[in-house]
Amino acid sequence: MFCYQCEQTAKGTGCVKVGVCGKQSDVAALQDLLIYALKGLSQVALAGREAGVNEREVNVFTCEALFSTLTNVNFDPQRVADLIKECVRLRDELKQKVVDAGGQVPDSGPAVFEPAATLEEMVAQGEEHGILAEKDPDPDIHSLKQTLIYGIKGISAYADHAQILGQEDDEVYKFIQKGLVATLRQDMDLGQWVDLLLECGRINIRTMELLDAGNTSTYGHPVPTEVPLGAKKGKAILVSGHDLRDLELILKQSQGKGIYVYTHGEMLPCHGYPELKKYEHFYGHYGTAWQNQQKEFAKFPGAIVMTTNCLQKPLDNYKGNIFTTGLVAWPGVKHIQDKDFTPVIEKALEMEGFTEDTDKGTVMVGFARNAVLSVADKIIEAIKAGKIRHFFLVGGCDGSKPGRSYYTEFVEKVPEDCIVLTLGCGKFKFFDKKLGDIDGIPRLLDVGQCNDAYSAVQIALALAKAFDCDINDLPLSLVLSWYEQKAVAILLSLLALGVKDIRLGPSLPAFISPNVLDFLVKNYDIKPISTPEEDLKAILG
Ligand code: FSO
Ligand code: SF4
CATH of residue 438: 3.40.50.2030
**Within-domain flag for 66:** yes
438 & 462 share domain:
yes
Residues 60 and 208 in one domain: yes
Phi, psi of 140 (to 5 degrees): -75, -40
Is residue 15 located within the same domain as residue 144?
Answer: yes
Question: For a pocket test of ligand 2, which of 1, 2, 3 has the largest count of ligand atoms closer than 8 A to its C-beta?
Answer: 3
Instruction: Give the number of other Cβ atoms within 10 Å of residue 430's Cβ.
Output: 19
- Examine residue 368 and state whether it is found in any structural domain, yes or no: no
Alpha carbon of 8 to ligand 2 centroid (Å): 7
| pLDDT of amino acid 28 | 98
> Do residue 185 and residue 248 come from a single domain?
no
φ, ψ for residue 479, nearest 5 deg: -120, 100
82 by DSSP, 3-state: which? helix
Domain boundary among 218, 249, 281: 218
* Amino acid symbol at 21: C
Same domain, 193 and 68: yes
Q: Are residues 18 and 144 in the same domain?
A: yes
Sign of CA dihedral 187, 193, 197, 203: negative
**Three-state secondary structure call for residue 263:** strand
Q: Output the CA torsion sign for 499, 167, 158, 49.
A: negative
Q: Which of 397, 404, 423, 446 to mutate to test the pocket of ligand 1 (most atoms within 8 A of CB)?
A: 397
What gap in Å lies between CA 66 and CA 177, rounded to an integer? 11
Residue nearest to atom 2 of ligand 2 (CA): 6
Q: Could you give the CA distance from residue 397 to residue 7 in angstroms, rounded to a whole number?
A: 10
Q: Backbone dihedral region of 166: left (phi > 0), alpha (psi from -120 to 50 degrees) or beta?
A: left
Any domain includes 362 = no
Atom of ligand 1 nearest to the CA of 70: 8
227 touches 271 (CB < 8 A): yes
- Overall number of domains in the chain: 3
pLDDT attached to residue 51: 98
Last residue of a domain, one of 316, 350, 384: 350
Rounded to whole angstroms, the Cα distance separating 537 from 541 reads 5
Instruction: Give the integer Cα–Cα distance in Å for 497 and 494.
Output: 5
- Whether 253 and 104 map to the same domain: the answer is no
Whether residues 381 and 511 share a domain: the answer is: yes
* Residue 363 falls inside a structural domain: no
Domain with 42 in it: what CATH number? 1.20.1270.20
Residues 6+ apart with CB under 8 A from 131: 2, 3, 4, 32, 146
- In the reported structure, the alpha carbon of residue 486 is separated from the centroid of ligand 2 by a whole-number distance in angstroms of 14
What torsion do the CA atoms of 70, 75, 76, 82 make, to the nearest 10 degrees? 10
Dihedral angle sign, alpha carbons of residues 45, 49, 55, 61: positive
**Same-domain status, 334 and 390:** no
161 with 116, same domain: the answer is yes
Which residue among 175, 192, 218 closes a domain?
Answer: 218
Distance (angstroms) between ligand 1 centre and the Cα of 421 equals: 17
> Which helix (H) or strand (E) segment is 47 a member of?
helix 25-50
Peptide bond into 506 cis (omega under 30): yes
Dihedral of CA atoms 49, 55, 56, 57 in degrees, nearest 10, equals -140
Residues with Cβ within 8 Å of residue 99, at least 6 apart in sequence = 105
- Specify whether 301 is located in the same domain as 417: no
The pLDDT tens digits along the chain (541 residues) read: 999 999 999 999 999 999 999 999 999 999 999 999 999 999 999 999 999 999 999 999 999 999 999 999 999 999 999 999 999 999 999 999 999 999 999 999 999 999 999 999 999 999 999 999 999 999 999 999 999 999 999 999 999 999 999 999 999 999 999 999 999 999 999 999 999 999 999 999 999 999 999 999 999 999 999 999 999 999 999 999 999 999 999 999 999 999 999 999 999 999 999 999 999 999 999 999 999 999 999 999 999 999 999 999 999 999 999 999 999 999 999 999 999 999 999 999 999 999 999 999 999 999 999 999 999 999 999 999 999 999 999 999 999 999 999 999 999 999 999 999 999 999 999 999 999 999 999 999 999 999 999 999 999 999 999 999 999 999 999 999 999 999 999 999 999 999 999 999 999 999 999 999 999 999 999 999 999 999 999 999 9
Look at residue 176 in the predicted model and tell me its pLDDT. Answer: 99
- Distance, in Å, from the CA atom of 221 to the CA atom of 141, rounded to the nearest integer, reads 42
356 domain residue, yes or no:
no
User: Considering all CA atoms of the chain, what is the largest pairwise distance in Å, rounded to the nearest integer?
Assistant: 70
Whether residue 444 contacts residue 202, with contact meaning beta carbons closer than 8 Å, is answered with: no
Kindly state whether residues 106 and 164 are assigned to the same domain. Answer: yes
Residue 355 inside a domain? The answer is no
Are 240 and 390 in contact by the 8 Å Cβ rule? The answer is no
* Residue in 101, 6, 90 with CA at minimum distance from that of residue 50: 101
> From the alpha carbon of 72, which atom of ligand 2 is closest?
5
For 400, the domain range is 374-540
Q: What is the pLDDT of residue 81?
A: 98
Q: How far apart are CA 229 and CA 34, in angstroms?
A: 40
Pinpoint the alpha helices (H) of 365-510.
369-373, 376-384, 405-413, 453-466, 485-496
Nearest Cα to 42, choosing from 53, 58, 27? Answer: 58
Q: How far is the centre of ligand 1, averaged over its atoms, from the C-alpha of 357 (Å)?
A: 30
What residues are paired with 445 via a beta bridge?
Answer: 421
Domain membership flag for residue 3: no
Q: Is the pTM of this model over 0.75?
A: yes
Beta bridge partners of 303: 237
Ligand closest in space to the Cα of 73:
1
| 265 Cα to the center of ligand 1, angstroms | 9
* Distance separating the N- and C-terminal Cα atoms of the chain: 46
Q: What is the arrangement of strands in the sheet containing 476-481, beginning at the earlier edge strand?
A: 444-448, 418-423, 390-396, 476-481, 503-505, 527-528
- Cα–Cα distance between 317 and 319 in angstroms, integer? 6
**Does some domain include residue 364?**
no
Burial class from Cβ neighbours inside 10 Å (0-12, 13-18, 19+) for residue 441 reads: middle
Helix (H, G, I), strand (E, B) or coil at 451: helix
Nearest atom in ligand 2 to the alpha carbon of residue 7 is 2
The answer to whether residues 523 and 403 touch, using CB atoms and an 8 Å cutoff, is no
Nearest CA to ligand 1 atom 2: 310
Give the pLDDT confidence score for residue 450 in this predicted structure.
97
Ligand 1: centre distance to CA 216 (Å): 20
